[in-house]
Amino acid sequence: MTRLSQWIERIFLPFLTWPAMFMLMAMMLITVVDVLGVKLFSAPIKSSIELTQLALAVMTFCIFPLVCWDESHISVDLLDQFTPSWLHRARRVLIHIGASIALALLGWKLLEFAQRSVSYGDVTEFLRIPISYLITVMAVMGWLSALISLLKAMVVALGKKDKV
């Protein structure tokens, strides 16, 4: 399992950071150019909001697998001080399995939504980009996150050291 976890950490997850970084850079550049266009030329980019929304969705869903693997979820540790330390690993495994199920269901529902979007012919307002492309990327990232979360559950269950 260590070879798999090393491959995920060193090769696979950094590969997913590139689209997220590119989208963040694109959002920043769009905003800067749009503000400069308004202030200097009184001419905003007409589709800047649309481009920013698309980039934000792609960036957010590309980050999901990284969050799952790094266990960077939002958590409230109200019961940690009352829980015996031998239960911490089981709790982490259950959290990852629950997250995997939720993310797989999210991917499934997003794919259904993408199929409906294709049948309706939904496109973005200004650029006329089919919305189904974006929703399909979101569904694939949801499934990928579910797989990563499931793999992390196995790594935690079989691992020797416990991170609290």
Burial of 57 (0-12, 13-18, 19+ CB in 10 A): middle
Rounded to whole angstroms, the Cα distance separating 13 from 94 reads 22
Look at residue 9 in the predicted model and tell me its pLDDT: 86
CA distance linking residue 72 with residue 149, whole number of Å: 12
Q: What percent of the chain has pLDDT over 90?
A: 70
DSSP designation for 127: T
Evaluate whether 64 touches 141 at the Cβ level (below 8 Å): yes
Per-residue pLDDT band for 151 (boundaries 50, 70, 90) equals: very high
Distance of alpha carbon 27 from alpha carbon 23, whole angstroms? 6
Q: What is the pTM of this model?
A: 0.86
- Mean pLDDT (the chain) is 91
State the pLDDT confidence band at 78, using cuts at 50, 70 and 90: confident
As to burial, measured by CB atoms within 10 angstroms (0-12 exposed, 13-18 middle, 19+ buried), residue 129 is middle
Q: What is the dihedral of CA 82, 87, 88, 91, to 10 degrees?
A: -110
Read off φ and ψ for residue 71, nearest 5 degrees: 55, 45
What pLDDT does residue 162 have? 47
Which among 149, 151, 144, 153 has a CA at the least distance from the CA of 62?
Answer: 144
pLDDT in tens, 30-56: 999 999 999 999 999 889 999 999 999
* pLDDT at 50 (0 to 100): 95
What is d(CA 53, CA 75) in angstroms, rounded to the nearest whole number?
27
Q: Each residue of 92-135: pLDDT tens digit?
A: 999 999 999 999 999 999 999 999 999 999 999 999 999 999 99
Cα–Cα–Cα angle for 65, 69, 74, rounded to 5 degrees = 85
Domain positions in the chain: 2-158
pLDDT reported for residue 164: 44
